[in-house]
A and B are shown apart, each in its own frame.
Chain A
Amino acid sequence: DSGVTQTPKHLITATGQRVTLRCSPRSGDLSVYWYQQSLDQGLQFLIQYYNGEERAKGNILERFSAQQFPDLHSELNLSSLELGDSALYFCASSVGGGLFEKLFFGSGTQLSVL
């Protein structure tokens, strides 16, 4: 068990809908990262937060948004969902976001858009 909690584990929804994925980092970790894993694009970095502030942005669509709350949990909001958004979404955390820090991953949220 990595200590990173993601909910829900599975999510099935329809095109055009909006969903929220939730992540609780390991106790003491200040940085949260979101990744999208799909079969054809591997593990894509979406966004990183450190202690409530956005720190790095990857290939995150404008339809997607995220935030990190004062208690350090994070939410990833996906709106106007399309079939292509179906993927495994991972949250990861690290202590501070330093250069040589390893990431601890949650078990992921499997999103299916029908």
Chain B
Amino acid sequence: AQKITQTQPGMFVQEKEAVTLDCTYDTSDPSYGLFWYKQPSSGEMIFLIYQGSYDQQNATEGRYSLNFQKARKSANLVISASQLGDSAMYFCAMREGTSGTYKYIFGTGTRLKVLA
């Protein structure tokens, strides 16, 4: 069974500082994808970054980077130089499965508040 765990219900960070949001996953499948999404208070879900299980380097997208530690089964999101607009709910997600029958599951989320 696949499982995504986000142990931090809420986080605070000072504006312009970096913050790490934790995500651990559980899978026995060697092929999987890990994703992070942002959900602002307006409610929409916005894709941020993804990491494939075979990728050798950590993914980066602007101020977002994914700290992928395969042996520990963790995929933490690092946001550098936090901005007030980063205040939102953040979800870690995983996709695994055989061809055509992938399930795409989400963690319970971490609510990030950026302080001025």
Q: A interface vs B, CB < 8 Å?
A: 2, 33, 35, 42-43, 45, 48, 50, 55-56, 58, 88, 90, 92, 97-105, 107-108
For the side of the interface on B, what is the size category?
Answer: 20 to 34
A102 to B94, CA, bound (A): 10
B74 to chain A: which residues have CB within 8 Å? none
B33 to chain A: which residues have CB within 8 Å? 99-101
Q: A56-B101, A97-B102 are in contact. Are A102 and B50 (CB under 8 A)?
A: yes
Whether B35 lies near A102 (C-beta < 8 A) is: yes
Q: A42-B108, A45-B103, A55-B101 are in contact. Are A100 and B50 (CB under 8 A)?
A: yes
Q: Which residues of chain B from 34 to 65 have a CB within 8 Å of any chain A CB?
A: 35, 37, 43-47, 50, 52
Whether A56 lies near B95 (C-beta < 8 A) is: no
B91 to chain A: which residues have CB within 8 Å? 42-43
B45 to chain A: which residues have CB within 8 Å? 90, 92, 103, 105
The closest CB in chain B to the CB of A58 belongs to: B103
Instruction: Please provide the 4 A-B residue pairs with the shortest distance between their CB atoms, ordered closest to farther.
Output: A105-B45, A43-B106, A42-B108, A102-B47
Is B105 on the interface with A (CB-CB < 8 A)? yes
Whether B43 lies near A55 (C-beta < 8 A) is: no
B105 to chain A: which residues have CB within 8 Å? 45, 58
A63 to B98, CA, bound (A): 27
Whether A42 lies near B95 (C-beta < 8 A) is: no
A79 to B97, CA, bound (A): 30
Whether A103 lies near B47 (C-beta < 8 A) is: yes
The closest CB in chain A to the CB of B96 belongs to: A99
Is B8 on the interface with A (CB-CB < 8 A)? no
Q: Which residues of chain B from 50 to 94 have a CB within 8 Å of any chain A CB?
A: 50, 52, 91
A98 to B35, CA, bound (A): 13
* Chain A: minimal CB distance from B3 (Å): 12
A45 to B107, CA, bound (A): 11
Whether B44 lies near A45 (C-beta < 8 A) is: no
Q: A58-B103, A100-B33, A103-B104 are in contact. Are A42 and B44 (CB under 8 A)?
A: no
Is B32 on the interface with A (CB-CB < 8 A)? yes
